[in-house]
Amino acid sequence: MNQLSQTARLWAFIVLAALLPASVSAAPFAAYVMDARTGQPIYKQNADTRLHPASLTKMMTLYMAFNAIERGQVRLDSQFLVSSNAAAEPPSKLGLRAGQRIELRYLIRAAAIKSANDAATTIGENIAGSEEAFAQQMTQMARALGMRNTNFRNAHGLTQEGHYSSAHDMSILGRHLFYDFPQYYNLFSRRSADAGIAQVSSTNRRFLDSYQGADGIKTGYTRAAGFNLTASAQRGNKRLIATVFGGTSTAQRNQTMAQLLDSSFARVPNRVRETRPQAPRLLVQRTVRRAQVEPTPAATQASPQRLVLETSQKPARANRAASASTAATTNQPDALAAAIRQAQTETVNAPAAATAGLALAASARPRLRPGTNAGAVDDAVATAVASADAPQSASLAAPVLAASHRPVPAPRSRGNGSLVASASSNSGTNPDDIARAVAAAIPESGTSLSLMESSAPKPRSETVILAAMGEGDLADPEAVEIVSRPSNSGRNWGVTLGLHRSRAAAEELLMQSALRDGVTLQGARRQVADTNRGFVPSFVNLSKADAQLTCERFQARSYECRVVAPKPAATSTCKGGQCPPFFMCATEVIRLSVHSFSA
């Protein structure tokens, strides 16, 4: 019996050994290693052979998601709708349900760390509208990045006809992920993460834990593709990016990758001139349409133009009454009186037809406005017509002047008070009385209307009074009590964003953050502190709520962030702006709390 069992085990081992080469041959081996600093190849084997990329496809899915975030198309907290197609994707999956809404940040974590197919499909469908449209955009982006042997049919990488890539192309994509989106690259080195509905673990944690300097990027496996891996590792100043297609197992793939990286680290120089990859060109081309206008002879050829000026009518002679009013401005009272008498005489002798032209009998009466007294309007019209037809008045202004009082003469007129008073008591029907009153109002001959009779102003003193101080000004200024505001109110909070090796990197992080979170950081100020350990970027002049919200957003993007509370300020008494050395006035207290953030 024991002999039969041993024979059965032997035959089973032989059958398994015979089937193993067949499974290995289904996934051809390919490898490519490049210097990430320059993009130059170090090792390649079947590097341009078109093979199944498996879940390495999600590297492009994530690249498209990062690009959409940076362009402002979506945000990390955007709610993505899970379709029935995405929910039905086979494992590996996050476990999304159809109709569910989930933030993009959780989908990115699930696709990058757990390699969840349902998360990758949800990303593609919500960014492009459908998985097919998203696959086309992925292929176009691959062409823009220089991936010549790549074509995508889906967002997750499951085997499908026409879905292929190469070890060389995936290494190019890994290099662009490192350089184009350094703010998201640390996602690929996480061993686990919170994906919203579950805590997910990395499919690449074995290689990350076993190989020194490894910090990414992505694994992939299907039966047709075998065990694939695109890895990135750094030792000192050297960084390599390598891709392996067609591994027979996870252990064999990781061992092969470690051997390729070790031999390549020994071959590359320690210091080289870094050459960053060029950013992809815009995929959308702007079309400019120009209107075609046929030229016309009038627009292209100059033709003589004739300008004819017709004879204009002779201007009408000015009214003598206007001449009389102009002459009244002179300083001769006799000439003024004579001009006014002549004008009034001509008005009396004017034919009746000229006066009849002022009658309103022939014109249509306008409609009354709402609330207008019709009886008052009729009385006013009747009075105007009667005064125009009255034979005793030679002037149209006589009825008005008869009912009004003459103005009191100006103080400058001397010796004319009696004449003006007599003219005021007149009924206004005699033109001579009006002329005499006007002549009396004019100063006598030899005088003028100028200000010669007024006294000259006193000359301005050349003495300049710089200051005036009395005995009361010598006293000490009143003491002002300066009390700092509570530390939990106002905009005296801040956040610090970890350590950076260069000031340029710290300032770039502050600028990108200010553009991304413009509403929260609207009134904040950017500062970079130079410390012994490195450069510390920070935002100051924030409220407590804005500081906490800002840190939550940075921590969601895997950035180190710390809320800095304001330092408590002492209460002091300052006199005349002079404070003891250990206190500060109000403005200096606030300034101290702000500068303390960058320490």
- CA-closest candidate to residue 183, choices 505, 495, 503: 505
Strand partners, 500: 535
pTM given for the model: 0.48
Residue pair 526/539 in contact by the 8 Å Cβ criterion: yes
Please report, as a single letter, which amino acid is at residue 390.
A
- DSSP 8-class letter at 88: T
pLDDT, residue 46, reads: 95
Nearest residue to 36 via CA among 264, 358, 279, 306: 264
DSSP assignment letter at 459: P
In the chain (599 residues long), the average pLDDT of successive 10-residue segments reads 52 47 59 96 96 96 96 95 95 94 96 96 96 96 96 96 97 96 94 94 94 94 95 95 96 96 94 91 51 53 55 61 45 60 59 47 63 64 60 52 61 47 47 61 49 63 53 50 50 86 88 80 85 88 87 85 76 44 36 35
pLDDT at 306 (0 to 100): 58
Token representation of residue 257: 């990758």
pLDDT value for 220: 96
CA-to-CA distance for 66 and 180, rounded, in angstroms?
Answer: 9
Residues annotated within the binding site for substrate are: 218
- What ranges in 517-573 are assigned the alpha helix state H? 544-556
Angle of helix 117-128 relative to helix 131-145, nearest 10 degrees, comes to 90
CATH topology of domain 25-267: Beta-lactamase (3.40.710)
Domain ranges (residues) in the chain: 25-267, 480-598
- Dist. CA 187–CA 573, nearest whole Å: 53
Bond preceding residue 92 cis, omega within 30 of 0: yes
Burial of 193 (0-12, 13-18, 19+ CB in 10 A): buried
Fold of 480-598: Alpha-Beta Plaits (3.30.70)
Residue 54, pLDDT score: 96
- Identify the pLDDT of residue 196: 92
Phi, psi of 194 (to 5 degrees): -90, 120
DSSP letters along 108-132, please? HHIIIII--HHHHHHHHHHHHSSHH
pLDDT value at residue 390 = 53
With b meaning 16 or more CB within 10 Å and e meaning fewer, what string describes 498-524? bebeeeeebbebbeebbebbeebbeeb
For 533-568, the pLDDT digits (tens) are 889 999 888 888 888 888 888 888 888 898 888 876
Residues catalogued as catalytic: 55, 58, 115
Count other C-beta atoms under 10 Å from residue 40's C-beta: 11
Helix (H, G, I), strand (E, B) or coil at 379: helix
Q: Can you tell me the distance from the alpha carbon of 498 to that of 40, in angstroms, rounded to the nearest whole number?
A: 33
What's at 178, amino acid-wise? F
Q: Could you tell me which residues are beta bridge partners of residue 30?
A: 245
